[in-house]
Amino acid sequence: MRRSGAELDPDDGRELLTERTPRVAAARKLLRRASRFDAGRFLVEGVRPVHEALTWAGESPGRVHDLFLTDAVADRDPTLEERARALGVRVARVTEKAAAGLSDTVTPQGVAAVCSTVTVALETALAGSPRLVAVLVGVADPGNAGTVIRTGDAAGADAVVLAGDSRNQPVDPHNGKCVRSTMGSLFHVPLAVSRDVDAVVTALRDRGLTLLAAAGDGETVLDAAADALLAAPTAWLFGSEAHGLDERTAALADHRVRVPIHGRAESLNLATAAAVCLYASARAHH
Amino acid sequence: MRRSGAELDPDDGRELLTERTPRVAAARKLLRRASRFDAGRFLVEGVRPVHEALTWAGESPGRVHDLFLTDAVADRDPTLEERARALGVRVARVTEKAAAGLSDTVTPQGVAAVCSTVTVALETALAGSPRLVAVLVGVADPGNAGTVIRTGDAAGADAVVLAGDSRNQPVDPHNGKCVRSTMGSLFHVPLAVSRDVDAVVTALRDRGLTLLAAAGDGETVLDAAADALLAAPTAWLFGSEAHGLDERTAALADHRVRVPIHGRAESLNLATAAAVCLYASARAHH
């Protein structure tokens, strides 16, 4: 007798879970921020991101809980199921419709994993002696946040912090678009989320980090002359794409730094400005 | 008697053009690439981008043809109509629905201008003695292309070239999403489009530019040691986000350069990699 919500695979008669199967329905709820918060779990979609999640689970088992995939994906990449089973992940084949229900994109990938959330406490993210930290203040766009997490990873950042007050709630890095934009870096860099910007600034200062606020009208220009400044352990504060860093937060930094504009552009976008700043630090550190 | 497709403004009885007015219908067609190509015109949407277009038309009149705006936008920013009229632009108030029809976004801005296309011949874009040129090869994503145009402007690039073969058609920089991503830089930097990558490479070499291919597996690392190389007049070749620069094109460059990855990210995205490369050149030049 078939389980609730299961369908028989037309090819081999095996069971395929449908969108009505309780496990699939529960996973689907993780597309909502509140459900992710309550469950402490989130969804990772796509062959390559799921492989990244499995590698992450390999370092500390028990962090990937379910793997849902269609026959088509399992046939294309048999290592997905093998790796997941070896790690004790519950594996289930699902219908195309069930897989689509686990996706927030218009082109579902046919594979999704339920993972424990990756964020850690601020103290944990800043443990050791961090030399480069990226802080996003009031950044609400998940694509921008994900790109900065990816860039921070590439530039060798020791942590990324998503900060913002209650009016300006920080983005949830477990949001599907943010996860995709990180291209796996979500699993590489210690990530913390905090609504208390002052507490973040205090914690960074306590660890001896120089605080640099990226600001289009900053007094310090990010050029060769800034190398001595950048050689110190540094936390960069970046504001939102639309509004930049608020005055109050910028004033908490040791220096307000601007990327020089040599042409007639008024500004850079958040992700490219962050890339220039973080790589200027990486260059000074290496 | 009212003109075809006009409605009376409920407030002051003036005529508002509707989506059926021939001028509005003709402008709407410019949302399609083929129509832009045929007409040599494109649409710019939004208060700030339209102001940028008017500034551009101020430098060389006759390049903005029509301004369509709703009463709400005209009330909010009276300078739009004033500036346009002073430049001899045909101005018309339109209904909200007509304005929405001139937009390819889900949140229409209520104002759009019909402009002459901005692209110039490759020889024109490379006139003078360019010291920094960004070349996008086979980049199809308009958001990426627009962001690199904006970054190129900020970094002081003398030109941006969109290249690609017939299979891998270069993005049209007049695409709505690309225009928005440039944040006005479309009007600042000489832009050329060419399907013939070899001709682009030859033209760059003829002008004495060192050709650097951005490649994740490049032999040359973009670090302090590369400064001597970057001091020369340089053309950067960037490939698509998905596939990078094709082998054949990369082999045409003088050096294959990689942005160092200090963490565990596999790569940077196109726009952030281009920002790091172009700003490394800007730093070496200034």
A202-211 pLDDT per residue, tens: 999 999 999 9
Q: Which residues of B touch A259 (CB under 8 A)?
A: 154, 279
Tell me what pLDDT residue B226 has: 87
A263 in contact with B, Cβ within 8 Å? yes
- Nearest Cβ partner of A153 from B151, B265, B274? B265
B14, pLDDT greater than 80: no
How far is the C-alpha of A7 from the C-alpha of A10, rounded, in Å?
9
A256-280: burial string, b at 16+ Cβ within 10 Å, e else: bbbbebbbebebbbbbbbbbbbbbb
pLDDT of residue B1: 43
The answer to whether residue A261 neighbours chain B at the CB level (below 8 Å) is: yes
Listed range (A216-225, B63-72, B144-153) with the worst mean pLDDT = A216-225
Residue A102 has pLDDT above 70, yes or no: yes
C-beta separation of A135 from A237 below 8 A: yes
Residue in B119, B161, B113 with CA at minimum distance from that of residue B137: B161
| Cβ–Cβ below 8 Å for B263 and A183 | no
This model of the complex carries an ipTM of 0.91
Inter-chain CB pairs, A–B, below 8 Å: 117
Closest Cα in chain B, distance from residue A132 (Å):
11
Distance between terminal CA atoms of chain A? 63
Is B154 in contact with A286 (Cβ distance < 8 A)?
Answer: no
Residue B283: both structure tokens together: 């730093």
Q: pLDDT category, A214, cuts 50, 70, 90? A: very high
> How far is B83 from chain A, CA to nearest CA, in Å?
20
One-letter amino acid at A14 equals R
pLDDT at position A243, please?
Answer: 85
Model pLDDT, residue A277: 98
Closest CA to B238 of B128, B131, B174, B152: B152
Mean pLDDT of B111-130: 96
pLDDT for A74 beyond 80:
yes
- Does A257 lie at the interface with B, CB-CB under 8 angstroms? no
- Rounded distance, CA A174 to CA B137, Å? 33
Q: Are B144 and B164 contacting, i.e. CB atoms less than 8 angstroms apart?
A: no
> A32-69: b or e for each residue (b if 16 or more CB lie within 10 Å)?
eeeebeebebbbbbbbebbbbbbbbbeeeeebbbbbbb
Tell me which chain B residue has its CA closest to the CA of residue A279: B276
Nearest CA to CA, how far is A108 from chain B (Å)? 18
In Å, how far are A210, A227, B164 from A250, measured between CA atoms?
Answer: 13, 20, 43
User: Which CATH homologous superfamily contains domain B122-285?
Assistant: SPOUT methyltransferase, trefoil knot domain (3.40.1280.10)
What share of chain B has pLDDT > 70, as a percent?
95
The torsion defined by the Cα of B108, B110, B116 and B120, in degrees rounded to 10, comes to -40
Q: A interface mutation test: which of B180, B222, B234, B276 has the most A CBs within 10 A?
A: B276
Q: Is the pLDDT of residue B256 over 60?
A: yes
pLDDT at A3 over 60: no
A10 has a pLDDT exceeding 80: no
Q: Is A155 on the interface with B (CB under 8 A)?
A: yes
Nearest chain A Cα distance for residue B263, angstroms: 4
pLDDT digits (tens, 9 = 90+) for A23-53: 999 999 999 999 999 999 999 999 999 999 9
> What is the pLDDT, as a whole number, of residue A1?
43
C-alpha A220/C-alpha A259 separation (Å) is 9
- The whole-number average pLDDT for the span B62-87 is 96
C-alpha separations of A209 from A237, A273, A283, B46 in Å:
12, 20, 17, 41
Mark yes or no for CB contact A286/B260 under 8 Å.
Answer: yes
B286 in A contact zone (CB under 8 Å): yes
User: Which range is least confidently modeled, A110-124, B84-98, B160-174?
Assistant: B160-174
**pLDDT over threshold 60, residue B2:** no
Contact flag B275-A268 (C-beta cutoff 8 Å):
yes
Q: Which percentage of chain A shows pLDDT scores above 90?
A: 86
Superfamily of chain region A6-116? Ribosomal protein L30/S12 (3.30.1330.30)
Quick one: closest CA in B to A181, which residue? B269
Secondary-structure breakdown of chain B: helix, strand, coil percentages, each rounded to the nearest 5:
40, 20, 40
Q: Among B94, B109, B100, B93, which residue's Cα sits nearest to residue B45?
A: B109
* SS3 (DSSP) at B4: coil
Least CB–CB distance from B157: residue in A184, A224, A263: A263
Higher pLDDT, B14 or B241: B241
Which pLDDT value is given to residue B3?
54
**Average pLDDT of every residue of chain B:** 93
Q: Where in chain A is the domain with CATH 3.40.1280.10?
A: 122-285
Tokens 């540094």 found at: A234
The CA distance from B144 to B176, in Å, is 13
**Partner residue opposite A272 with nearest CB, options B151, B224, B261:** B151
* A66 vs A84: CA distance, rounded Å: 9
Q: How far apart are CA A18 and CA A99, in angstroms?
A: 8
Rg over alpha carbons for chain B, rounded to the nearest Å, is 21
CA of A1, closest CA in chain B: separation in Å?
A: 45
At A3, the amino acid letter reads R
Question: A264 vs B224: CB contact, 8 Å cut-off?
Answer: no
Confidence check: pLDDT of B184 > 90: yes
How distant, in Å, are the alpha carbons of A115, A269, A279, B39, B271 from that of A272? 30, 6, 11, 34, 7
A272 CB within 8 Å of a chain B CB: yes
Query: Does the beta-carbon distance from B156 to A263 stay under 8 Å?
Result: yes
| Contacts with B276 from chain A: Cβ below 8 Å | 275-276, 279
Average pLDDT (B240-264) is: 93
Residues of A in contact with B264 (CB under 8 A): 153, 185, 188
Range list of β-strands (E), chain B:
6-8, 15-17, 41-45, 64-69, 90-93, 111-116, 132-137, 159-163, 191-194, 210-214, 220-221, 234-238, 255-258
pLDDT tops 90 at residue B250: yes
Q: Angle, nearest 10°, between helix axes A270-285 and A142-154?
A: 10
Q: What is the pLDDT of residues A181-191, one digit of tens each?
A: 999 999 999 99
User: What would the two tokens of residue B278 be?
Assistant: 């172009």
Q: Is B244 on the interface with A (CB under 8 A)?
A: no
With a CB-CB cutoff of 8 Å, which residues 109-148 of chain B face chain A? Answer: 147
Q: Considering only CB atoms, which chain B residues are within 8 Å of A263?
A: 152-157, 185, 188-189
Least confident stretch, A136-145, A219-228, B192-201, B212-221: A219-228
Q: What per-residue confidence (pLDDT) applies to A14?
A: 75
The string of pLDDT tens digits covering residues A251-269 is 999 999 999 999 999 999 9
pLDDT in tens, A189-198: 999 999 999 9
Instruction: Report the pLDDT value the prediction gives residue A169, as an integer from 0 to 100.
Output: 78
Confidence of residue B224 (pLDDT cuts 50, 70, 90): confident
Domain with CATH 3.30.1330.30 in chain A: 6-116
